[in-house]
Amino acid sequence: MKRIAVAGFQHETNTFADHKADFQSFSMTKDWPPLCSGPDMLDTVAGFHLPVVGALSRLSQEPDAEIVPLTWAFAVPCGHVTRDAFERIAGMITDQLAAAGTLDGVYLDLHGAMVSEHYEDAEGELLRRIAMLAGSGVPVAASLDYHANITEKMLEYADYLDVYREYPHTDMAETGYRTAHILLDMIDRDIRYHKALRKPDYLIPLNLGCTTIEPCRTLMANLNTLRGNLPDLTHMSFAAGFALSDIHEAGPAILVHAQDKQTADNTADHVLELLKTTEQAFEPVGLPAPAAVEEAMGQARHAALPIIIADTQDNPGAGGSGDTTGVLRALLAAGAEDALCGFIADGETALQAHVAGEGAEIKARLGGKLFKGDRPVQGTFRVLALGDGEFTGTGPMWKGARMQLGLCALLERGGVQIAVSSKTIQTGDQSMFRHLGVDPTGKKIIALKSSVHFRADFEPIAHSVLVALAPGPVLLDPGQIPYRNIRPDVRLSPNGQTLQQRSSA
């Protein structure tokens, strides 16, 4: 009987965001499950499109495998994980691991870009603690997000690391399944891999890591072709990195596991050269919010399908507050018609709408309360619809997710309908609007709080996608980010300055 411990601790840390991830942030249900432990974990995560679910699926297929569930936790991207939250959750995992008895392997569902108040490389520290407890004879394998900032410490203390291959992350469960499969193979064959890590000396803007558009569409196709020609027992991963984590080792990475050191090194070096030739294609592109709205209105006059505006710099999936008003103001100022905007996180206004009731008019201060430098949109709004925020996701990324967004409301002002939630959420699934009775396919313009994940469910119904730049904490261009800790010789944006050059200018 193979006894496999299973745990997860996920957070993508935008070190420039104000709000921190405390313990309560991991205990709250939004789009993914709340913190869960022991046997209850298996039922709590069941049905969600998550790496841990894919891993559990693979492990459950193994006739001689016993799953030992520990703790799984996730919090919406924001600022640093507090010391208290990290130590409490890491402590739960390690205490359970220590009490689990003899184990044959450990699977971990991690993000790879977690920064705590006291550890720049929080996952590297977590892996160190787990590896020390498990012992050298017990392989530790972890699946990582495509935006992982893979570090030398993570490489040292994990026997195997694997990374999502799609952004939007429509392959999360698939990656967990693959990682668990390779972990079982390592146990059965009693093998360990040689590992090679390479990092390009430039950062990739968040939007352009998208694997359904260029340059990553072609890059990932080339990497998949390369994977098909790799020797047996050789595995290659690519992570685009998360440029909004200001840590020394932030940025894209190539990771290769192989049975011999030369194969690992040669494969990693080959992919690194490929990444060098792609740098110029990662130049960030976006329009100021008023210009994006003007372009959308122009296209909408002749388009049969909606024009999507991505409010990328307030993407809650990368640490945005989800309540900035720049794009909404631009829509209202331009007199946009048949437009839909959402989701704006504002529990105060959502409650006000519920008290007033459908059909009522309310005077509200909408949004603009969480991000410094922004301000609410004040005035009269009509309450079109109300919702309890509880529904099931239907799109490629959130399918099966049991959403709990708190009180929600659909408001209207002029020709713009505005979806409001009590909890901060990235707008990546049509079900979010449909639970308020809105069919997004019938709108001329849809403005979404998202950078890329929306593309999985909204791009198929769109005439075009425009990237809008309004004030927010998720800066599109890494060259504009006020770094302090990143490696001084890394170009902050493609073909741009390094931190060292910026400091001496």
Per-residue pLDDT tens over the stretch 465-491 = 999 999 999 999 999 999 999 999 999
Same domain, 269 and 320: no
Same domain, 46 and 139: yes
Per-residue pLDDT tens over the stretch 264-285 = 999 999 999 999 999 999 998 8
Average pLDDT over residues 317-342: 97
The count of structural domains within the chain is 3
483 CB-near residues (< 8 Å, 6+ apart): 246, 492, 499
Q: Distance from CA of residue 457 to its chain's centroid?
A: 16
Q: Which of 162, 192, 222 is the last residue of a domain?
A: 192
Same domain, 291 and 421: yes
**Does residue 505 surpass a pLDDT of 80?**
no
Q: State pTM to two decimals.
A: 0.95
Same domain, 201 and 214: yes
| Residue found by looking up tokens 């209202």 in the block | 332
Q: Of 97, 176, 99, nearest to 138 (Cα)?
A: 97
Same domain, 341 and 432: yes
The whole-angstrom separation of Cα 345 and Cα 419 is 9
Residue 504 confidence (pLDDT): 77
Residue 465 confidence (pLDDT): 98
Average pLDDT over residues 133-158: 97
Q: Of 242, 410, 246, 271, nearest to 341 (Cα)?
A: 410
The whole-angstrom separation of Cα 372 and Cα 417 is 25
**Residues in the chain, total:** 505
Same domain, 267 and 307: no
Q: Of 466, 412, 451, 458, nearest to 431 (Cα)?
A: 458
| Partner residues linked to 69 by β-bridges | 6
The tokens describing 134, both together, are: 């498990």
Averaged confidence pLDDT in the chain: 96
Per-residue pLDDT tens over the stretch 391-416 = 999 999 999 999 999 999 999 999 99
**Cβ contact 79:318 at 8 Å:** no
Same domain, 374 and 390: yes
Per-residue pLDDT tens over the stretch 77-118 = 999 999 999 999 999 999 999 999 999 999 999 999 999 999
247 CB-near residues (< 8 Å, 6+ apart): 15, 115, 120, 121, 149, 485, 486
| Partner residues linked to 419 by β-bridges | 410
Average pLDDT over residues 222-232: 93
3-state SS, one letter per residue, for 434-452: HCCCCCHHHCCEEEECCCC
Residue 215 confidence (pLDDT): 95
The tokens describing 327, both together, are: 């794009």
CATH number for the domain including 186? 3.40.50.10350
Residue 447: domain span: 287-473
Same domain, 170 and 294: no
**Does residue 251 surpass a pLDDT of 90?**
yes
Same domain, 302 and 160: no
Classified as helix, coil or strand, 465 is strand
| Partner residues linked to 4 by β-bridges | 67, 105
The whole-angstrom separation of Cα 464 and Cα 86 is 41
Q: Is the peptide bond before 343 cis (omega within 30 degrees of 0)?
A: yes
Same domain, 365 and 488: no
Name the CA radius of gyration of the chain, rounded. 23
Starting at the edge strand found earlier in the chain, the sheet holding 2-10 runs: 36-37, 65-74, 2-10, 105-110, 140-144, 160-163
Same domain, 14 and 122: yes
Same domain, 304 and 375: yes
Q: Which of 192, 217, 236 is the last residue of a domain?
A: 192
Q: Is the peptide bond before 215 cis (omega within 30 degrees of 0)?
A: yes
